[in-house]
Each structure stands twice: as C-alpha cells, then as structure tokens.
Amino acid sequence: MGRIIGIDLGTTNSVCAYMDRNEPKIVINEEGGRITPSVVGFTKVGERFVGDIAKRQMLINPEATIHSVKRLMGRTFREAREGIRLVDYRVTAGPGGECLVDVAGRSYTPQEVSAMILQKIKKSAEDFLGEAVTEAVITVPAYFTDRQRQATRDAGTIAGLNVLRIINEPTAAALAYVHERGRASTIAVYDWGGGTFDISLLDVDRDVAEVRATRGNNALGGADIDDRIVEWLIDRFRSEHTIDVREDKIVMQRLRDAAERAKLELSAAPSTEVHLPFLVSDQHGPRHLQATLTRAAFEALAEPLFQKTIEECRKVLADAKIDPRDIDEVIMVGGSSRIPRVQQLVRELFGKALNKTFNPDEVVAIGAAIQGGMLEGEIKSVTLLDVTNFSLGIEIQGRRFAPLIPKNTTIPAQKSQLVSTVVDNQRTVKIHVLQGESLDARENVSLGEFELQDIQPGPRGVPRITVRFAIDANGIVNVSAKDQRSGVEHEISIDAPHGMSRVELERARDEASQQARVEEESKELKKLRQEVEQELVKLETFLRDRRGLLPKQDIFELEQALKRGRMALVKASADMKNLQSLLGYLQRFHAHLAEKVRQQARTH
C-alpha cells in the first residue's frame, strides 16, 4: 500500500493532507497555496483549468465556470432546484432526472466535475510528494445522504483514486483533536462551510472517537450568507439608479465576489466599503456602486441563517440527551465559523470558550490524513464509531415508511425485519429502500428499489420475507431480501438511483484519464514551445551583438535557423518530437557559434 492522502473536498475550497511519520501536513499545490478553490473553468476552445485560474475567470465568464458543484452531488434536478440557489452556469435535468452541468458544448455530471477537482489535487500531491498517489480518504458533510456519499466515491473513482474510506467532516475534525490532545472529553464540532452545515457531538479518548449524534443542513452554507449581502447590494443599486441587475450574469458574479470579500473583512473590521466602478452602463453613461456595510447591518441580514445553525445545535443536543454544560469543548470548523456573531451565539449556547487552536480551513483534511495513516498502519489506530445521519428503512403498505435502522445508530450496523405480501398468491415483492425521518414514504429520499421474484405463493400475510439492512463504515447501504419458504434471495448494494452506472463510471474514468494525459502533454508542449522561443531570443541577441565577428556563411546559417524556428512556432501542427529536435539543434548551433567567437577572441 502506497501513501494515502486525505482530501477535504469542499464546496468553495478543497484541501489535501498527508502523514509525514507521525505528523499530518498540508500538501502545497502547484500554485504554491495550501487551499485549492473548488472551481473548474473552460475556454472557448474547450481547454479546462482548475483552482485559482478558474476562480479568476468567474468574474469575466461565469457561464463557462463551474463552482459549488458539491451542492449538486447526488441530487435530482428537482431537489437541487427546490433546495438551493442554482448557479450562473447551466444546470439541466438528465434522462433520469439527475443534475447535469452544460458547459463548453457538452454535459457533465456533478461527479465528473468533482473528479476534475480531485484530479488537480491528486496531481498536486504527486508533484509535492514525488511519488504516485492512488489511494485516498475523502470527507463529506455528516448530513450527506447515501446518494451523495456514493456520488463522492464515484468522483474519486473517475479521478483515478481508490477511495478507501468516506468519513464525515466533523468526525475527521474530531480525529485531529484526538491526535493532538489525547484526553477524554465530550466535544461538539460546529462545521459551517461554503455550502453545508453540520453539528456533531462526540465522546473522545486517547484511542476512541464515538459520535453520539449528528445534525445538519445540506443547503445552508457561506454562499447563502453571501446571497443576503448580494440582495442588499442589488437593492442599494436599484434605489440609487433605478436599475435591476439580476439578469446580468457578469454583474451578479461581480456582486457575489464583492459580497464574499465584504463578509471576510467584517470578521475583523466593524465596517467595510464595497466599491464597484462601472458596474453597468446605460444611456446616461457608466453607473458605479459605492456602499458601506457595517458589521451590525451584516449581522441583521444574516441573523436568520445564524439562528438556523443554532436550532440544529439544540436539536442535536436533544437527540443525544446531553445538556450544553456537559460539553467540554466546542471545535469550530469551516470558513463561516470565523464570523464573530456566529462565535458569540455558539458561546452563549454552550456556555464556554471556543477551541480555536485548529485552522478551520485545514482541520478536516488533517483528520482525513490521520484516518489514512491509521489505514496504512503508520500511526496508532483510533477506534472510530460514527453514526447514521438519517433513518434507513423500507416503504410498506399505505405508502408508509418503516425505519429499520434508526437515525444516530452506531455504524457499521445491520438490522433485519420480516415483511409479507399484501394480496393472495403474490409472486413478486418490491422492496423500496428509503432514507429519512418522515412517516410518509413520499417525503423521504429514495435510495433505490428492487424486486424479489418467484416467492412461494400463499394467502396474503402468510409468506415470510426477511429484509436485511447493512450499513458499512463509509455509510454505504447494502440491502437483501429472502423468502424464508422458497429460499429465493436477492441482494443489492444501493447505488444512487439518479447517479452513474458502473459502465458510465468506467467510461468517465477512462475519459478523465485520457483528458489528464492530453492536458499534461499540452502543458509539456507549451513549456517546450517557451524553451524554443527563449532559445530563439538568445540567438537573435547573439546575432545582433556579434554580427561583426561572424563569417558571412555563419550569419546566413544563423538567419536560416532563426527563420526555421519561427516557422515551427507558428505551425499549430508542431509536435513534441519535432520541437525537441529543433530545440536541440538550436542549442548545439548556439554553442558552436559561441565557441567560434571565443576562439577568435583568444587568437586576437
């Protein structure tokens, strides 16, 4: 087993970490940063780029720039449209109702887009560590459904990673806490990132981390706070200039960028200036936006969102039957946890100072790396006891939901239940697997369904069919059904019903691998062209400075070499082999002429 990396695949930013002996360390990406924006951009000719470059493109070409794709993972188009604000790029419904992202003349699944981000992280890790990386631990929000977890695993597969474990983000933060502190305590992990919110309560000791309960909201993140500021800016601009800019996507992206910067500045300053010159132009000329946003006004705008997180905290305390005073420490995770008002509300709820010793942006990736180190056997193993985030069960007569594995059950877990037929001589039973808390089956998330066929006929209610649920350490569900009389059995691993099939996954992985090779060759070709260009400039300078010292034949040959080089650079068809041969020739010719000039200088 090679080195295992830990990846926090975030809505806004992603972070990668690894274990160096017994210490977790952050991977520095190709741009020299510790954080990689979870953004993918495309050019008009179909080239793609990930990270900081793509994020900069959002301001000028938002329709060809994909961000916040984590919010679409494992969701149907209807769920995404109803639950979150859809973004500037085009999101459509696929043949099965799944989300598709339409950009650069083709459609991508959210898994494929996430795989592009993971490929970037994988490449950065390989360059940083100097070795191939094929295995990873990837974190997900604690309140991700089974479909969303499957989609995350699929994204890793497409990116060429063997995803050894999917773990919850708050649980990863708790692992970092155990690794750092190693003392018995009951902790709360308040995790508010760019797209999701989680709150988890855990009992931790030197060699165990047991989740007591978890709650969350997959459609509540820092982006929603930004939206409140954007609406405030739109209203200010409209009241001053009577212009509504909502339909201008470039203007809206400028507003969102300004809103995010204002939010960050207000964590340290009592007020901030938002200045956007030349926001729009009309018959009266350019229109500018100038506004002052105070921290008090910002807190008033976002207070309903802050209170939603506090309400989830109260619910998780009730689920675990824990008094806030019984919590020893509160660990703040995610960028939005830096907001002063958020910290004040959390302090008031739990009645104690907050643990700020961890970097909120990096602690989850560090925990994932520690989990990887445990799997490698590099560090002492910690028993990790996580819980189910939703109840799991089946649909029964009357479209009712029958939970088999209740919410907050420690995993891995399994449970069996007997069901029967509803009509006489029924030969087939359909098993509809659901995840959620509502007694109405239609209000829960469908994980999939299958049929148990050729059961032994009999009067209604007589056949005995055992339905067995099993959920593994990754939170992935397996379901089987067996007719006790005939012995007929059927078992499935629940895949996302609106996700990618195994064939589609393999196709996407092969395509991603091929695209990565093409992009790597393209980078090498660009680098080679630059080297040829640099050598040509050196030769031109040499000719200009030494023309009087060179024989006419050498001058002629040098001019021909320069002409050949320039012609090669303008040819789009110039390949690696030809350019490498040309570069070698130019370097040798340059060295030959330089030596001639040196010999002439010595003889004189």
Per-residue DSSP letter, 478:
E
Catalytic residue among 191, 329, 361, 362: 191
State the amino acid at position 103 in one-letter form. Answer: V
Count CB neighbours of 161 within 10 A.
25
CA distances from 555 to 216, 274, 535, 545 (A): 74, 60, 16, 12
Quick one: angle between helices 363-376 and 169-180, nearest 10? 70
Q: Would you give the distance in Å from CA 283 to the centre of its chain?
A: 43
Half-sphere exposure for 211 (CA within 13 Å, toward CB): 31
Closest Cα partner for 67 from 229, 234, 154, 195? 195
Closest Cα partner for 8 from 411, 367, 428? 367
3-class DSSP assignment, residue 65: strand
The enclosing H or E element of 268 equals none
3-class DSSP assignment, residue 182: coil
3-class DSSP assignment, residue 283: coil
What region does 198 belong to: left with phi over 0, alpha with psi -120 to 50, or beta? beta
Half-sphere exposure for 198 (CA within 13 Å, toward CB): 28
Q: 287: which strand partners?
A: 280
User: Which tokens sit at 266?
Assistant: 């207000």
Q: Confirm whether 169 is a catalytic residue.
A: yes
Catalytic residue among 55, 70, 263, 482: 70
Question: Using CA atoms, how far apart are residues 382 and 369, in angstroms rounded to an integer?
Answer: 13
Count CB neighbours of 501 within 10 A.
11
Quick one: angle between helices 146-158 and 110-129, nearest 10? 50
Catalytic residue among 8, 112, 154, 312: 8
Catalytic residue among 169, 226, 361, 386: 169
Q: CB-based contacts of 369: which residues, under 8 Å, 6+ apart?
A: 4, 5, 6, 17, 18, 19, 24, 25, 137
HEC string for 392-428: EEEEECCCEEEEEECCCCEECEEEEEEECCCCCCCCC
Catalytic residue ranges:
8, 70, 169, 191
